[in-house]
Structure 1
């Protein structure tokens, strides 16, 4: 079962329907025990980093997420869900989950904010399982004003360009 974490403000049902469409057994949950029992975890995201972290901490989901990643379970953070994995979020000076070293920064002035529209994503390594069935010229939809800036680039799987490259 794939646990989709519900912290009260995310695009959970579109993620749920997409995973069900490809035959996955999913459960939307805010229960840390369900996250612990899952074989994989998805942390979707829409909203502000500070309020999302506060809601996850109130429910004990922060520790459940750390436990799942420490056990090596497949984990997918989408949009704010990925941003919450970093150490620090510039918006409101929020501490993240600290699962990788880096911080979330606002897209610099120059390009239109928010970044909204279709962009290509460029994998940085060959044979990444997450890109296995995706065409190299595929486009992905973006709606965001912040990006993750990892301190260690070795863990970066792919980048896109919007004014400058980011992951």
Structure 2
């Protein structure tokens, strides 16, 4: 059973529709105790990293997520969920979950010339992703350079570059799929990325525990 972590962020309904289409059972809850028996978790959402962390702490999901990951259950962070698995975010100077070493920075912090060149932020729309650093189980059956749908202004900056399994090009090299053990993340929205995104979601839902 998939547990959808609801921390009062947007875009969760789109993920529910994708899971319904794939006929994958799930529970969506704002209460950690209602998800304790799930065997994997999805962590979707639009919005602000600092707000997301405040909501997680308020509900107790911050502790819950760390415990479930430590127990070997797979976690998939999507968009904001892909960012707050790291240690720190420049957005709101937020201390995040620390499941993966690294931080989150604005595009213009990483490459100020993007602003001078009038490259628009947020990075919004379809962009292709290129694979690197070996296989990743959630990308099984996906063609290299497939298009997926992005909406974000902040960028994943992992300490260990080997956790990046796919990236996009948008003014800079943008880490787009992350894997560290049983922790996975998509900076883009798989639930809005057509057949490719549905396959990524399906792959995640078929993973064994302790990946």
TM normalised by structure 2 equals 0.76
Q: How big is the shift at 1:50?
A: 1.0
**8 Å contact kept, 2:133–2:163:** no
Is 2:42 aligned against 1:34? no
Is 2:127 aligned against 1:119? yes
Is 2:44 aligned against 1:44? yes
Q: Give the Cα–Cα distance (whole angstroms) in 2 for the partners of residues 114 and 137 of structure 1.
A: 21
**8 Å contact kept, 1:36–1:67:** no
Instruction: Pick the aligned partner of 1:155 from 163, 166, 180.
Output: 163
Greater than 6 Å deviation, 4+ residue runs: none
Q: Give the Cα–Cα distance (whole angstroms) in 2 for the partners of residues 43 and 152 of structure 1.
A: 22
Greater RCO, 1 or 2 (C-alpha within 8 Å, sep 6+): 2
- Count of aligned residue pairs for this structure pair: 167
The structure richer in helix per residue is 2
Q: Give the Cα–Cα distance (whole angstroms) in 2 for the partners of residues 127 and 48 of structure 1.
A: 31
After TM superposition, the structure 1 stretch with the greater mean CA deviation from structure 2, 31-40 or 77-86, is 31-40
TM normalised by structure 1 equals 0.95
| Secondary structure, aligned partner of 2:36 | helix
Could you say which residue in structure 1 is the equivalent of 2:18? 18
